């Protein structure tokens, strides 16, 4: 059974009474251990899709299953439990709590999920070590660079060992060096078995995935297997073809 399944997803927003379609019938299946990038221009529905998959929003129509659980049919509190236990989400803007230090930001989802303080602290220490932040547990978000904040956000998303990791434009606010470091970390976790779905408008970011799905106007319009090594030019060439 796939980790993630979505069928005929549609999302319509209302703007002053006018229907604005964001998704127009999206189907998606992601297998265990896959690294999938969903690529397309700004406004094509990528982030809307990711929020639906995470249960942060609900579809106007369609079905979503994560490890067999019907996300579309869950109420808000049960979707929150699913996110704590099964789905990790990395926001483009980090969304760290400014008045909590790094340790508290990372440990919070584990504590909310019922993990003991001792276990949460142990998991946090292991993640910060793996992400090169072992010396930052007492730092506050404003004391960190953008790349460091993104790594803290990644640690927070991974602390409950999620079956599925969803990542929204992970390098959109980073310089090239920090972006490359974050992408290398995502590849590393994927190589260790983590299932990842990432959305981006950047061919370089998409090229780190095993499979790239192209999106336009709320629909999937093509896909390709990514190269064994990052090949942004190949991804960009394919993007131009499917967008033509």
pLDDT tens digits, 161-174: 999 999 998 888 78
How much is the mean pLDDT over the chain?
91
Compute the average pLDDT of residues 92-113. Answer: 94
Rg of the chain (C-alpha set)? 18
Q: What is the dihedral of CA 10, 52, 176, 97, to 10 degrees?
A: 150
For residue 43, name the pLDDT band (cuts at 50, 70, 90): confident
What topology is assigned to 32-58+69-86+162-244 in CATH?
Rossmann fold (3.40.50)
Q: Which of 84, 70, 71 is nearest to 163 (CA)?
A: 84
Residue 238 confidence class, pLDDT cut points 50, 70, 90: confident
Give start and end residues of each alpha helix (H) in the chain: 46-53, 76-85, 102-112, 117-130, 146-158, 176-191, 203-206, 232-243
For residue 240, what are the CA distances in angstroms to 33, 51, 53, 57, 162? 28, 26, 27, 31, 34
State the pLDDT confidence band at 229, using cuts at 50, 70 and 90. Answer: low
Provide the 8-state DSSP code for 226.
Answer: P
At 228, the pLDDT band (50, 70, 90 cuts) reads low
As annotated, the residues of the chain forming the CATH 3.40.50.300 domain(s) are 32-58+69-86+162-244
pTM: 0.91
């Amino acid at each position: 059974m796939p980790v993630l399944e979505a069928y005929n997803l549609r999302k319509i927003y209302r703007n002053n009474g006018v229907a604005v379609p964001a998704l127009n019938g999206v189907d998606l299946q992601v297998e265990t251990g896959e690294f999938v990038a969903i690529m397309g221009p700004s406004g094509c529905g990528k982030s809307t899709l990711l929020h639906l998959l995470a249960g942060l929003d609900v579809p106007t129509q369609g079905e979503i299953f994560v490890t067999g659980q019907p996300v579309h049919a869950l109420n808000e509190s049960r979707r929150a439990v699913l996110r704590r236990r099964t789905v990790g989400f990395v926001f483009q803007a980090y969304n760290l709590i400014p008045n909590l230090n790094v340790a508290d930001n990372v440990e919070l989802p584990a504590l909310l999920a019922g993990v003991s303080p001792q276990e949460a602290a142990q998991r946090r220490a292991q993640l910060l070590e793996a992400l090169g932040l072992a010396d930052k547990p007492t730092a506050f978000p404003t004391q960190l660079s953008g790349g460091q904040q993104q790594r803290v956000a990644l640690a927070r998303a991974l602390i409950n060992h999620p079956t599925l990791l969803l990542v929204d434009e992970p390098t959109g606010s980073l310089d090239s060096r920090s972006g490359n470091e974050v992408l290398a970390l995502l590849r590393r976790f994927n190589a260790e078995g983590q299932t990842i779905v990432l959305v981006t408008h950047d061919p370089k970011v998409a090229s780190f995935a095993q499979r790239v799905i192209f999106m336009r106007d709320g629909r999937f319009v093509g896909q390709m297997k990514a190269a064994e090594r990052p090949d942004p030019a190949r991804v960009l060439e394919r993007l131009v073809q499917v967008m033509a």
